[in-house]
Structure 1
Amino acid sequence: MSAYLRLRAVPAPALRNSPAWLERLFTNAPETVPHRAGRHREEVLDTRCPDQERIYAGASPHGPDVVLGGRPVFRTGRHEPPLLVLTAARTRGVAGFLTAADFDVLWDTARDTLLPRFGGEGAEPEARRVFAEAHQELTAFYVHTAEHGDAVVKWPTQP
């Protein structure tokens, strides 16, 4: 079973605690969202999502929030994982963590756990490149989101 994680920036004053409202953030056509919210941005982590979390695990209190953390908002009558919400303040903290993080140190800490899952030592250059790109994309997403004072809503999904 593969997991995807969609992250969406939301203006903090517009944020609602309603599962239905939060789900609609992700079900509208991407081209219509910027008109409605003014500056929505989205990031998607693909099937490496659970593994990307290993890059940040133990790095700081903000590390796990980068990928899987946040306040859960449970969906009524569904067996799907909850939506996750990061406040604007928590988003700023994650942006600060990612900006200050040294990817080489993060990689060195996680590599022994990750390499067996991605082809072993012979595949290290490619695996490292993929995780470094995801780290750069997450950093850009969080920094841009924090600059606007926005919150983040996360939706773990199955393909």
Structure 2
Amino acid sequence: MSLYFHFRAVPPSALRNSATWLRRLFEDDWDTVRQRIGRCREEVLDKGYLGHELLYTGAPPHHAQNGPRTHVVLGGGPVFPTEPDEPPFLLLTAAQTARVADFLTSADFEALWRDARNELLPRYGGAGAEPGARGMFESAHRDLTAFYTQTAFYGDAVVKRLVR
């Protein structure tokens, strides 16, 4: 089973706190969403999204308190779908999105990597695979920073969905 985490930016005026509406947001293609809500930006993390969560929240014992760094990947208010086996959608308000963007633009990737490295490397092939693993995380960090920065610039909210 292929898992990935999908993020979409939504203008607050278009956002609905409805699982049905949110499901449509992710089922429709990019152009359809853009026509319906006026603009569309998105980001996707592959099945390694839990590694990215660890990168931002901090490797034990340095786990981050609830705040901008904990909202980068898995954070947000849940909206539960009607199907009991489906994970909830996660919503970040425009203000929360701006705080995440501020965190990401000021974050030192080297420090994040250094703190999470020992937890992450065994999952990605060990010390010998460090250059590739580090490069993958650094690239995703740049993409997430660009996504959140542009989303905050427009004053938009973020909706997240785990897709199977």
Q: Percent identity?
A: 56
Aligned with residue 96 of structure 1, among 99, 102, 107: 102
Which AA in structure 2 matches 1:148? Y
Aligned partners of 1:157 and 1:51: how far apart in 2? 16
Residue 77 of structure 1, CA deviation: 3.1
TM-score (norm 2): 0.92
The 3-state SS of whatever aligns with 2:160 is strand
Residue identity opposite 1:20 in structure 2? T
| Alignment map for 1:7-156 (pairs within 5 Å) | 7-57=7-57, 58-59=63-64, 61-156=67-162
The normalised TM-score by structure 1 is 0.95
Residues 11 and 156, structure 2, Cα contact 8 Å, conserved in 1: yes
Once the 2 structures are TM-superposed, how far is the Cα of residue 2 of structure 1 from its aligned partner? Answer: 4.8
Cα deviation for residue 134 of structure 1 reads 0.5
Preserved contact between residue 85 and residue 152 of structure 1 (Cα < 8 Å): yes
More moved, 105-114 vs 30-39: 30-39
Deviates more, 1:106-115 or 1:60-69: 60-69
SS of the residue corresponding to residue 12 of structure 1 reads coil
Runs of at least 4 residues of structure 1 off by over 4 A? none
Q: Which amino acid aligns with 1:4?
A: Y
Measured in 2, the distance between the counterparts of 1:120 and 1:56 equals: 20
Where does residue 60 of structure 2 map in the other structure?
A: none
Which stretch of structure 1 is more off in the superposition, 84-93 or 26-35? 26-35
Structure 1 counterpart of 2:102, which letter?
G
Amino acid corresponding to residue 135 of structure 1 in structure 2: H
Report the count of equivalent residues: 158
Two-structure CA RMSD over aligned residues (Å): 1.2
Cα offset for 1:3? 2.9
- Cα pair 1:59 1:106 within 8 Å, conserved: no
Identify unmatched segments of 5+ residues in structure 2. 58-62
Give yes or no for contact 1:52–1:67 (8 Å, CA) kept in 2. Answer: yes
Work out the CA distance in 1 between the residues paired with 2:26 and 2:82.
Answer: 17
> Which runs of 5 or more residues in structure 1 are unaligned?
none
Name the residue aligned to 2:4.
Answer: 4
